[in-house]
Amino acid sequence: MAIYHESRITLRPFKESDAEDVLLWASDERVIQNTRLELCNSRELALHFIKKDCIYPFQQSICLDDHSIGIVFVLPISYAKFKADLGFAIGFNYWGQGIATKALKILLSRVFQEFSDLQRLEANILEDNMASQRVLEKVGFQREGLFRKVFNHKGVIVDAYIFSFLSTDEIPHDVV
């Protein structure tokens, strides 16, 4: 398992020049299977994704040495400005190395300042996606419960756990 110094891991807006890097992780079914993202099987689709889909106020590239290796987004809920949805995905080659955990720690350290009305982040994680559940718990999210048959996920109605992090919660200092 590779260990990456936290300063090598950054969040930043996507750039058109990320298309090749995005294609590496966004074309991998293992990465996309537990997300709402669609497979991206060409450089043109990766570029379209960057230009058209990465326009949320806070949709960031998870970078290692400034190369896009994943995505994290905060999508404010239009009818309830005090809360937002959180989602993330990271390239398969980086699973289990603490990078997603570090990226979420970076996000949590600034998201409540960037969105002044935000009081609550929510993440809905598929019931069998244990790795993402562990990442959220490591950075201080609370598991609130199981929503039964809550999403149409790629044509199948599925159960998902809801996790939350409040603006008053603290990020654990011992996050690896």
- All structural domains of the chain, each given as residue ranges with its CATH number in brackets, are 6-119 (3.40.630.30)
Q: Which range, 80-84, 103-107, 171-175, is most confident?
A: 103-107
pLDDT in tens, 29-66: 999 999 988 899 999 999 999 998 887 768 999 999 99
Q: Among 15-19, 111-115, 117-121, whose mean pLDDT is lowest?
A: 111-115
pLDDT for 104? 96
Q: Where are the alpha helices (DSSP H) in the chain?
A: 19-26, 29-32, 43-48, 99-114, 130-138
Whether residue 2 has pLDDT greater than 70: no
CB 101 within 8 A of CB 90: no
CB 72 within 8 A of CB 7: no
Return the bridge partners of 87, or none: 73
